[in-house]
Structure 1
Amino acid sequence: MPLFPRSSLRWKLSAAIACVSVLVAVALSLVVHNAARVSMIDNSRDVQDERVQSALRIYEVTGKKVFSAQLDDPALPKPLKEFAARGERATYVQDSGGAPIVWAETPTNDGRILSLRTTFKDRYSVLVDLDQALIVGSLAVVVGGTALGVLIGGQMSRRLRKAAVAARKVADGNPEVRVRDAIGGRVRDETDELASAVDAMADALQDRLEAERRVTADIAHELRTPVTGLVTAAELLPPGRPAELVRNRAQALRTLVEDVLEVARLDGAAEQADLQEVALGDFVRRRVLALDPDAVVTVIEDAVVHTDPRRLERILGNLLANAARHGKPRTEVSINGPFLRIRDHGPGFPDDLLREGPSRFRTGSSDRAGGDHGLGLTIATGQARVLRARLTFRNAPASDGGGAVAQLLLPR
């Protein structure tokens, strides 16, 4: 499982900066604390050593003990006793759970041990104050670093989100959108390089697609006149089976040319819908009755939608034709608000269509002798895009009888 599931770049960057700030603050605080403690202890030992020397001089001259000095103190730590046995002066720090106890000893001329024991509480309190200051400073560094991470990460996240939105618009067929212009800003960073690369890729793909679309449209347009003449000439043939076959094939060729021209126009992203307010239930009921009288129409909830009736009729006709050609009776059409659903009871859509969407000249059948050229669903999808509607395909579960289900969601 990822450490930051579905989280934004802002919070990832903020968390990373916060972690680094904590590590740096803790490391520096430990270094400063240890350095200050070592310095305090060394200074205390130096002071204690000077005191024990002064106390020794006064004791040897006057016989008096100053600075609370003790002779042969039974609490003297063992390491100091060993130093004294060797005739050496030494200091020793004893941990007491709070302020450390600093010892100092020195042998006397009469063979005894003069020692001092002092707790430097004032210096220890300075160390405590230093620790508190380090804690406050560390918290300030962590909070400041996190806030900086939120600021920088937020700016980068906003730029990337704008780039993603612009890239989706380009993918939806809007050739006017440029990712670099969408992200804006004066800062020049890797996001600008990414945006420029996406724009360059989109321009190259658009040029290639436009070139292919023009070739397809030109070919279909050039074929339109001779095909129309062929259809007209076929109508003049004398009655008979050969003439019927010629007329059928000529009409199929004419339909193919018209469909190819329509696909080319839809690919050009220049098509505009003539939007009108349409009562969806009544519209679908009348069109289905004309296109497929055997289909069953159910209006669960009627709705008024803002759409182009001609294009909607084209989508509806292609979906019904696909259901009649590849499905099994009866075709069911249901309207639930702006949601239109068409279902047959056949084998369902092919897996590659569900996975990749409609593809040109792919019919799901190896029989190429019929009138189906695999452009119906492609045209329906393109017309839905012009209407700013959403057309999806799925298969009904086998437990519910199976079949292909096309779903169209129209804007109200």
Structure 2
Amino acid sequence: MRRRPRLPAWTASLTWKAAAFLAVICCALAALLGILVHVSVTDQTVREARERALSRLDEAAEAFRAGGRLGPGASLDPPELPASLRALAVSGERGTMVGSHDQRPTMWAAGPAAGGKALAVRIDYSQGARTIDGLDQAILGSSALAIGATLLVGAFAVTRVTRRLHTTARVARRISAGALDARVDDPRTGDPGRHQDEVAAVAGALDSMASSLQGRILTEQRFTADVAHELRTPLTGLHAAAELLPPGRPTELVRDRVAALRTLTEDLLEISRLDARSERVELDDTWLGPVAERVLRASGTGAATTVVVVRDVCVVTDRRRLERVLGNLVANAHGHGRPPVELTVDGPVITVRDHGDGYPDYLVEHGPQRFRTEGGARGHGLGLTIALGQAEILGARLRFANAPDGGALATLTLPYEDPAL
């Protein structure tokens, strides 16, 4: 099957489309007006020449009937007379036709004469032909000039609009990348008394949306931080009180729930610090293979987790934060997937894979979202959110996907410069 040829990428721009539209419209208008003017002037020129020729034909007919001398350009059955006009005259009718004589444009007029002959008169039509040719050239020149001027003015006007659209799109991309304080600040939206066009309306709507979104996110961040701080003090007292309880199954349950609440509170505090962007990295040379082994030992999962080092490299990163990221990924794999869990180091790329049902579609498409659940299923808590935030601080890229043969697959790509290069 043959593929249809594709146009260059620049033809998709609004500027090019507007310029092409203006060019087509200008060419159509110029052609229409040119045809109308050409037809009108040609009809007038031919009509004047025909009237002159018929007038001369009347004079020649009177002279012929009086037996006088025919005027200049008048004769009986001239050999240059067009055959169709001769036949018309012989049949008893009068007529005119533009032809040629001595290779010059000529207006012929012919009528019947005695003896089945044709009386013909010729008038030089060179001036009329030159007038029409000059008019056509003037129409072409003025049309080209008008089209060029219209394209320049149209391109200037369209470029101003597209430049504002590009600015709006660029700000939208910055907002989607996390820069919630980015604004278009179109001058037309700042003056209520000024007429707003469609681009200004879009820019104003984008700024309003960004302000509303920023306010909601800041409110959520403050709420998370406040809740974590308020819970920390009573949980500390609750933990101390739980340690004083007598041994037994109820005490173990209480201590377990208190420990879970303390972990949740610490996670909330960590997220609030990540949201505030107050974290500072401590960079050092770190071999990834030993880091993976330490994460495995700290996870306490034993044979349910395996470490595969395909290629070990030394990267410059914050080892504590890297262990935090990998620990959360391994814990999530065991908490929401099924063993075995594989932790693979291949150069600066570390993957964590389980053999469960995989990540939900929303998580693969939009990334982890705090406490979100889909269709009544169990959510993924805060572990993946913290892992993603810590990876961003490290300058690493963390991506979530599902393996083709089943299971969730998290890929962490660390910044790395090959010393051999």
CA offsets 1:24-79 (integer angstroms, 9 cap, x no match): 22212222222222122122212323332443455456622333323366836279
Cα offset for 1:282? 5.2
Alignment-derived partner of residue 212 in structure 1: 220
Instruction: Determine helix, strand or coil for the equivalent of 1:180.
Output: coil
| Residues 316 and 350 (structure 1), Cα distance of their counterparts in 2 relative to 1, 3 Å cut | same
Tell me the distance in 2 between the aligned counterparts of 1:396 and 1:9.
40
Alignment of 1:81 with 2:92, yes or no, is no
Q: Is the 8 A contact 2:108 2:120 kept in 1?
A: yes
Residue ranges of structure 1 left out of the alignment (5+ in a row): none
1:40-55 → structure 2 map (5 Å cutoff): 40-55=45-60
Alignment-derived partner of residue 296 in structure 1: 307
| Residues 321 and 107 (structure 1), Cα distance of their counterparts in 2 relative to 1, 3 Å cut | same
Cα offset for 1:200? 1.6
Tell me the distance in 1 between the aligned counterparts of 2:312 and 2:40.
79
Alignment-derived partner of residue 350 in structure 1: 360
Q: Is the 8 A contact 1:271 1:386 kept in 2?
A: no
1:147-162 → structure 2 map (5 Å cutoff): 147-162=152-167
Cα offset for 1:182? 11
Alignment of 1:409 with 2:413, yes or no, is yes
Q: Which amino acid aligns with 2:346?
A: I
Alignment-derived partner of residue 33 in structure 1: 38
Alignment-derived partner of residue 22 in structure 2: 17
Cα offset for 1:252? 0.6
Cα offset for 1:249? 0.8
| Residues 106 and 364 (structure 1), Cα distance of their counterparts in 2 relative to 1, 3 Å cut | closer
| Residues 301 and 39 (structure 1), Cα distance of their counterparts in 2 relative to 1, 3 Å cut | farther
| Residues 271 and 34 (structure 1), Cα distance of their counterparts in 2 relative to 1, 3 Å cut | farther
| Residues 158 and 309 (structure 1), Cα distance of their counterparts in 2 relative to 1, 3 Å cut | farther
Tell me the distance in 2 between the aligned counterparts of 1:253 and 1:357.
25
Tell me the distance in 2 between the aligned counterparts of 1:301 and 1:53.
111
Q: Which amino acid aligns with 1:249?
A: R
Tell me the distance in 1 between the aligned counterparts of 2:57 and 2:147.
46
1:267-282 → structure 2 map (5 Å cutoff): 268-274=275-281, 276=283, 278-279=285-286, 281=288
Alignment of 1:104 with 2:109, yes or no, is yes
Alignment-derived partner of residue 247 in structure 2: 239
| Residues 327 and 140 (structure 1), Cα distance of their counterparts in 2 relative to 1, 3 Å cut | farther
Match of 2:402 among 380, 391, 395: 395
Alignment-derived partner of residue 328 in structure 1: 339
CA offsets 1:279-322 (integer angstroms, 9 cap, x no match): 463574454344347431425473645x5444333222211211
| Residues 355 and 50 (structure 1), Cα distance of their counterparts in 2 relative to 1, 3 Å cut | same
Match of 1:193 among 184, 198, 201: 201
RMSD: 3.9
Residue ranges of structure 2 left out of the alignment (5+ in a row): 417-421
Instruction: Determine helix, strand or coil for the equivalent of 2:412.
Output: strand
| Residues 291 and 250 (structure 1), Cα distance of their counterparts in 2 relative to 1, 3 Å cut | same
Tell me the distance in 2 between the aligned counterparts of 1:95 and 1:327.
97
Alignment of 1:248 with 2:251, yes or no, is no
What TM-score comes out, normalization by structure 2 length? 0.78
Alignment-derived partner of residue 183 in structure 2: 178
Q: Is the 8 A contact 1:327 1:348 kept in 2?
A: no
Tell me the distance in 1 between the aligned counterparts of 2:127 and 2:312.
84
Structure number with the bigger relative contact order (C-alpha 8 A, sep ≥ 6) is 1
Alignment of 1:225 with 2:229, yes or no, is no
Tell me the distance in 1 between the aligned counterparts of 2:143 and 2:267.
70
Percent of pairs with identical residues: 41
Tell me the distance in 2 between the aligned counterparts of 1:120 and 1:301.
95
Match of 1:380 among 381, 387, 394: 387
| Residues 129 and 328 (structure 1), Cα distance of their counterparts in 2 relative to 1, 3 Å cut | farther
Q: Which amino acid aligns with 1:384?
A: A
